[in-house]
Amino acid sequence: MIDVLITLLTAMSFATPAEAATPSPAAFVRPLPRAEQAPRPAPPKKQRKESIGIATTGRSAFIADVATGQVLYAKKPHDVMPIASLTKLMTAIVLMDSDLNLDEPVTFVSEDFDGEGKAVFVPGETVSRRDALRALLVGSVNAAGNALARTSKGMEPFVQAMNTKARALKLASPVFVDPTGVNPSNRANAADVAAMLSIAMSYPELRQIASLPVVTIKGGSGRSYEIASTNLLLPSFLNKAPYQIVGAKTGSLPEAGFCMAQLTRDAAGHEVVAVTLSSSNHFTRYQDIKGLTAWAFDAYRWE
């Protein structure tokens, strides 16, 4: 459906940290659809050369310019670790590539709730595939991911398709064993997570969903479910003029710590993607992403 080339982030998977700071000019992250017909822009230039980055609580951090793939800051970007619900980015990508009818109904069964914390839906409830996708990305509802996988290819083939898609995108680090991320064996490095979010945001349907602060879903039972976004940065200055949060995904597990990936745009249309893996707590991951993003827009200038 969408032919994606991630030359930069493929190279990042094998580069040393020093190499990661100066990627090849030919390397790039796929720009969002609005830029596909335009000439590739020049990479941003650092205007505050004395600023080498910011301190983050995440064991791994990464931020890049989306249009050119210029790496703006990296901290252990190749360390592969559990990514928790950031897994759901690949779940959404594979679902979109399946070309299934998003208006078709999906009925939850009891096994969909394995690994669910506080359940949103109940077994026997029916929602559209689109609404299950909205629950997956906005509220990180695990049962929605399990139901989407089960009713598309079947659970095992779907997870296999997630791994196959990662290889097709030339992402070397991701390994998936379930569609939700509850298993800590779902792993990747920060550079490849940045690629996953950038790719997901190239699908108009996913981009429209990923920035929603809340979704209201009406089930076949007649019951309405209001699901709030897990992204606490939506009310922050990063989502007010001159900035806009294009999309984000959070995740946490005891083995993964607190993780987050976010793509943010400024008033001129320049976009950066920031990732933190294994931040120290629920709130510091938001501070890590906010700090990385604000630093990037302040330290760099786009021609």
- Look up residue 246 and give its two tokens: 């294009």
Q: Whose CA is closest to 136, among 234, 205, 66, 233?
A: 205
Confidence of residue 131 (pLDDT cuts 50, 70, 90): very high
Burial of 205 (0-12, 13-18, 19+ CB in 10 A): middle
The model's pTM is: 0.88
Average pLDDT of the residues of the chain: 88
Is residue 203 helix, strand or coil?
coil
* Domains of the chain from N-terminus onward: 7-301 (3.40.710.10)
- Fill in the DSSP letter of residue 175: B
- Look up residue 107 and give its two tokens: 């009925």
- Look up residue 79 and give its two tokens: 């360390």
- Look up residue 11 and give its two tokens: 């190279």
Cα 124 to Cα 126: distance, rounded to the nearest angstrom: 6
- Look up residue 36 and give its two tokens: 């596909």
Q: What is the mean pLDDT of residues 69-96?
A: 97
**pLDDT at residue 255 above 80?**
yes
**pLDDT at residue 100 above 80?**
yes
For tokens 């690994």, what's the residue?
A: 115
Cα 36 to Cα 41: distance, rounded to the nearest angstrom: 11
- Among 10-14, 56-60, 150-154, 202-206, the minimum mean pLDDT is found in 10-14
Residues of the chain with pLDDT > 70, as a percent, come to 86
Residue 1: per-residue pLDDT: 33
- Look up residue 184 and give its two tokens: 């800590």
Burial of 217 (0-12, 13-18, 19+ CB in 10 A): buried
